[in-house]
Amino acid sequence: MIEFVNFAREYGLILNNVIYDKWVATPTEDHPRSSNGRYKLLGDVGWVINWATMEKPVTWFADGKKDSKEIRQRIQESSSQRQQDAQKAKQKAEWILSQCSLETHPYLERKGFPNEQGNVFVKDDKRLLVIPMRIGGSIIGCQLIDEEGKKKFLYGQTSKGATFTIDAKGTPIFCEGFATGLSVRNMMKQMNIPYSIHICFSASNMEFISRNIRGGVIIADNDQNGVGESTAKKTGKPYWLSETVGDDFNDYHMRVGNFKASQALKKMLLSLRT
């Protein structure tokens, strides 16, 4: 087990009390308040993924156990189970959204949007903000944000290729987080510039989504480990990055105010014309 924990740590996952035989959500070093990591351990074989930096899971094998009939069978069974889990997550997301009410939420208030209404789902007396995640218009899962700002995805859901899009039929803008997307929307409205904001939920997914949409700009998080900026560079698109480590665009917007934030966006958008 120690070998697997060390393997997971190489990809930024924080593992405590390892659970066997199921996909488990876990925090990561770059997003300790979220559940951006996933792992599954089946004895001599396991998988880990960090959604912020990876597009697909990587496989771990115990020493000398890389190829055997038993290992191949476990991998095949895990793949089948993953497909079943994804279908269950899709159905659960659809049910959760059917139970939501449009309400304000403490997370949105803390992020500078006290009057913004979102999908709110009540579970065990806790009010969760629900962000639908879609691929090709179809719900595949959702992100749940509690009142303290802790985020998680549904168990088993497929997140690669999923977005929440705020579409005003304009310039494609790609970002990671919901609050960042709201800040960008407000600045674009203030400047009366059409937009199509693609909230991608992780840096790796943002790179994947932006590859398949022509043009546009990246709103990167200034992560301490540099993942946001390095991902933005990989896309080849113009990008915005706060000068302050740890900031996303919402943090920047809250700190400098509407005018300066809107001008920072405007300057970057002008680069599309040069």
Specify burial of residue 45 (Cβ count, 10 A radius: 0-12, 13-18, 19+). buried
| Beta sheet of 37-42, edge-to-edge order | 24-26, 37-42, 45-50, 58-61
Q: Is the dihedral of CA 12, 212, 232, 152 positive or negative?
A: negative
The angle, 0 to 180 degrees and rounded to 10, between the axes of the packed helices 227-235 and 203-211 is 10
Q: Tokens in use for 166?
A: 């705020």
What are the structural domain ranges in the chain?
2-66, 163-274
Tens of pLDDT, residues 226-260: 889 999 999 999 999 999 999 999 999 999 999 99
Tens of pLDDT, residues 54-101: 777 888 888 766 666 776 776 677 667 778 888 999 999 999 999 999
> Would the pTM of this model clear 0.95, i.e. be above it?
no
- Give me the residue label for tokens 């939920």: 201
CATH topology for 163-274 is Rossmann fold (3.40.50)
